[in-house]
Structure 1
Amino acid sequence: MLTVLKRHNCLASQWNHAADNIGGAWAWHRWELLEARSNWARTSDLSFAIADQQDNSKLLALIPLVAVLPKRAQHFLGPHLESTGGPAIDSKLPRRTQDKVRALIAQEIEQLAQREAARRVDLSCPPLAPDLVLASHPLPNPLCHFGYSDASTQSWLLNLADMGENEIWSNLEHRCRKQINKAKRNQLSADLITPDHSLLDTYYALHLETCRRNSIPRHPIGYFESIFNDVAEAGLSKSCIIKRGSTILAIHNFLVYKNKALYWTTAGSNDALKLCANDFGIWHAITEFTKHSVDHLECGEAFPGPRQDKLKGLNDFKKSFGGTLYPYFRGQKIYRPITEAIMEIARNLRQGGTKK
C-alpha cells in the first residue's frame, strides 16, 4: 500500500538513502539542501515522500516542496508552491506502480495547494539528475505526467568526462581565455576546498557587497550557515577561493553530487571584477573537478537569443566555459489566474521602472 510521508516524519538517513539511489534525484532532494532552503525568507517546508507500507516503508519517491509568501505588502495575495528538483520517482519500479505513485503525488500537491490557498505551483527537474543527463534518447518533459503546463528553459552543461587540461583550455571561448590570462598577470591564485564554518563570515561579507552592487535582496545568514555546516559536512559542496596575496576577492560555491557539479552561489568584491577573478576561479574549479571524477558541470540557466540586457552578459559568461545547451524541464499549474495576472503586471511595471 502506498502512503504519503511528510519529510519531518522520515529519518534523515532514510530520506538520503532514497535520494542516493533514485536516478531522477539530485542534490536538491537531499535532506541537507531542504533544511538550507527552509532558511529562506517567507518560506515554509512542505516536502514529502511516497512510501510502500508493504516493504518496510521504503521510500519510492521524493518531492521537495516549499510554500513561498510574497513580500509583506502582498502577503494577503497568498503563496506560491515551488519544487526545485521536482518529483523524483524510482525508475526501476514497474510502470503500473510508477503511475500509482504519480497519481498520489499529484493528489497530495493538489491538496497542499488548496490548503495553502496557493496562487500557482512551479516544478522543475534537475538537469544533472542521472536519469536525465545520461539518457540515451530524447526525453519529454517528465512533468507532463502530472498535467502541468510546460515552462521549460535550458541550461549550460559542460561534459568533463575524459577531458584533460589542454582540452579544457581549448574549449574555452576566446573572451574567457583572455580574462584568465589577465588574472594570471594580476597574480591571482585559486584553491578548491571543502568549506567549513570558518569561511562563513568572509563569504557573507562578500555576499552583502555583491547584493549592494547588483541591487538584489540578500539571503539570511542562516542559509549560508547551513551551506557551510550541514551541506559541506555531508560532502555535497566545494568552494573555490580566489585571492590576490592574502586578500580574498571572491568565493564560488559548487554543489557536488553523484559525480556532477553545479556552479551554485558566488560572492565577490568590486576588485574581483576588475582583476578577472570570476573566470579564473571557475576555470580552476573545472580543472580540479576533472581530477576527481566529476563528469558534468552545470554553469546555470541559459538565456540565448538576441538581447541587450543583464541576462545577455550573464548568459555569455556561462557560455564562455565551453558548455552545451541541455533541457531544463519545468512545469507550472496556475490556481488563481486573476491574482497571478495582477502580480505579473506589477512585476513588469517594477522592472520597467528599474530599467528607466
Structure 2
Amino acid sequence: MGARFSRKLQGRMTSLIRQWGSDKSHYPNYMFSVIGREELGQAEWDAFVDASDEAWLWHRFDAQDVLAARRGRNVLSFAIRESGGQERIVAIVPLHLVEGGYSKLFSVKVLDSFGGVACLNDLGSKQKKKVLDFVREQFINLALQCKVVQIDLRLTPMAPAYRGEQCPKVNPLLHLGVENRLTQTYVIDLQYSKEELWDRLLGYCRTHIRKAEKEGFVIREADSFADVEKYYGLHLETYYRTGVEPHPFKYFEHIWRSFTIKGYSKIFLAERDGELVAADNEAFYKKGVVGWTAAGKSGATKGINNLLHWHAIRYFKERGFEWYESGEAFPAARGGKNKGLNDFKKSFGGELYPYYRGEIVMRPVLLETANWLKTLRQSLDFKSGN
C-alpha cells in the first residue's frame, strides 16, 4: 500500500509541476517550462549534473530515489527548460516532500531541496536571476498546494562551485529569497601530502588510531550484499542505543545498488577476529568526498572510528581526490551529542567552511507548534532514558 501511495502521490505532484510550469499566465516575464525528472529521463538529467559546477552526487537521478527510501519522503525533483531558441535545460532542482510526525495525532510536511538548485555553468547573471526567480515561484506554488510548513534548502559543500577558492563569501541561497540559516562544516584539503595530513590530526586522534591498530583491528571494503546486511544490523544497534528511529533497510539497499556498485560510494568495515565492530560509508564525486553514514558496536575500542575515518582519508588521497568533508560542525556546542560530534570531526585537521542553508517559512504558527512538540518529545525521551 505504501509503494502504491508513493507512486500515486508522485504522479499527482508531477502533474502539478507540469501544470504550473506550462501555464505562462503565472510567469508573464519568464520563458521557461518545468519538466519532471522522469519525463526528462536519466541520461539527460545526469549529463546536466555531470557538467554543472553547482551540482554534486545528491543531484543525480538515482540519488533522488536513494533519499526517498527514507521514511516519509517522496520525490518531486524537476528540471527547468528554457523555452524558445535553444530549448536547453538551464537548471536541475532536487526536491522531496517530507512528512514527519511529532506525535500520534500531529504531523507536518516540508519541501526539502538537499543539494539546492544547480544551474547551467554559462548562464549570465541576468538570466540566472530569472531562472532562480522562476524556481522560487515553483517552490512557493508547490508549497501552497502541498500545505507544507516550510521549504528547506541546503547547498552541497563538495560541489565545485562551493569549495576551495571558489567558495562564495555570501550564502548563494539568498538569491532565492530565503531566510539565511548558514552554518559550517569541516573540510580537509587532500592536496597536502600524507605525512602533512597525519601531522594535522589532533594529538589524541593520532593516539586513538595507533591504539586501534595495535589492538588488531583491520579495515576492508564491503564487497557483497551480505556485507550490507551486516552493516544494517550494526545500524540498528547504533540507532536503538542512541534512541533514534533507524532508517529502513531499503535505504541501505538503494545506497549499495545505486551508489556503491556504480562507483559513487565506498563502505569500509572495521573487524577484529572476523567480527564486525564498526562501519563507515563514504560518498564521492567530482574529486570530493563526504562522510555519509556510520555505525558501531557498543563498547568497541574508542579509536576504531578514528581509524576508519583516517583510512578513508588516506584511501581517497591516494586516488587523487582533492577535498574531504567530515560533516556539519557545531563549534559553539558546550556539551551533549553535538559537542562530541564536533570534537570528533575537528580532530582530523579540517578547516571550517560555510554550509549554505536557507528556509522559507510558509506556516509560522504551525511550524512553531511542531517545533515545540519536538522539543517536548526530546525532553520526555531524555528524562525517561530513551
TM-score range, shorter chain: over 0.9
- Per the alignment, in what secondary structure is the counterpart of residue 234 of structure 1? coil
Aligned partner of 1:35 in structure 2 is 65
Cα offset, 1:139, TM superposition? 2.4
Cα offset, 1:148, TM superposition? 0.5
Selected match of 1:284 from 293, 305, 311: 311
Contact 1:156 / 1:323 at 8 angstroms: preserved in 2?
A: yes
In structure 2, how many angstroms separate the alpha carbons of the residues matched to 1:269 and 1:323?
26
In structure 1, how many angstroms separate the alpha carbons of the residues matched to 2:167 and 2:218?
41
TM-score, length basis structure 1: 0.94
Contact 1:195 / 1:237 at 8 angstroms: preserved in 2?
A: no
TM-score, length basis structure 2: 0.87
Does 2:141 align with 1:114?
no
- The 1:275/1:151 distance shift into structure 2, 3 A limit, reads closer
**Mean Cα deviation higher: 54-63 or 76-85:** 54-63
In structure 2, how many angstroms separate the alpha carbons of the residues matched to 1:137 and 1:331?
17
Unaligned 5+ segments in structure 2 are 1-30
- The 1:138/1:228 distance shift into structure 2, 3 A limit, reads closer
Does 2:282 align with 1:257?
no
Does 2:38 align with 1:11?
no
Does 2:359 align with 1:332?
yes
In structure 1, how many angstroms separate the alpha carbons of the residues matched to 2:32 and 2:305?
48
Percent of residue pairs identical = 33
Contact 1:186 / 1:275 at 8 angstroms: preserved in 2?
A: no
Aligned partner of 2:372 in structure 1 is 345
**Mean Cα deviation higher: 13-22 or 239-248:** 239-248
Aligned partner of 1:268 in structure 2 is 296
Does 2:185 align with 1:185?
no
Contact 1:196 / 1:229 at 8 angstroms: preserved in 2?
A: no
Aligned partner of 1:303 in structure 2 is 330
Aligned partner of 2:238 in structure 1 is 210
Cα offset, 1:194, TM superposition? 6.8
Cα offset, 1:355, TM superposition? 3.6
* Amino acid of the structure 1 residue aligned with 2:275: T
In structure 2, how many angstroms separate the alpha carbons of the residues matched to 1:37 and 1:247?
29
Aligned partner of 2:204 in structure 1 is 175
In structure 1, how many angstroms separate the alpha carbons of the residues matched to 2:80 and 2:328?
29
Cα offset, 1:353, TM superposition? 2.7
1:78-89 maps to which residues of 2 (within 5 A)? 78-89=108-119
Aligned partner of 1:62 in structure 2 is 92
Aligned partner of 1:232 in structure 2 is 260
Aligned partner of 2:158 in structure 1 is 128
Contact 2:160 / 2:166 at 8 angstroms: preserved in 1?
A: no
* Amino acid of the structure 2 residue aligned with 1:354: D
Cα offset, 1:53, TM superposition? 4.3
Cα offset, 1:48, TM superposition? 0.8
- The 1:195/1:47 distance shift into structure 2, 3 A limit, reads farther
| RMSD between aligned residues | 1.8
Cα offset, 1:166, TM superposition? 1.5
* Amino acid of the structure 2 residue aligned with 1:43: R
Contact 1:45 / 1:65 at 8 angstroms: preserved in 2?
A: yes
Aligned partner of 2:18 in structure 1 is none
Aligned partner of 1:165 in structure 2 is 194
Contact 2:101 / 2:107 at 8 angstroms: preserved in 1?
A: no
Aligned partner of 2:339 in structure 1 is 312
In structure 2, how many angstroms separate the alpha carbons of the residues matched to 1:329 and 1:50?
22
**Deviations 1:85-124 (Å, cap 9, x if unpaired)?**
0111123212222122111111111111011001001101
- Per the alignment, in what secondary structure is the counterpart of residue 286 of structure 1? helix
In structure 2, how many angstroms separate the alpha carbons of the residues matched to 1:2 and 1:135?
32
- The 1:138/1:33 distance shift into structure 2, 3 A limit, reads closer
In structure 2, how many angstroms separate the alpha carbons of the residues matched to 1:300 and 1:76?
31
- The 1:196/1:10 distance shift into structure 2, 3 A limit, reads farther
* Amino acid of the structure 1 residue aligned with 2:68: S
Unaligned 5+ segments in structure 1 are none
Contact 1:249 / 1:269 at 8 angstroms: preserved in 2?
A: yes
**Mean Cα deviation higher: 44-53 or 279-288:** 44-53
**Mean Cα deviation higher: 85-94 or 344-353:** 344-353
**Mean Cα deviation higher: 85-94 or 325-334:** 85-94
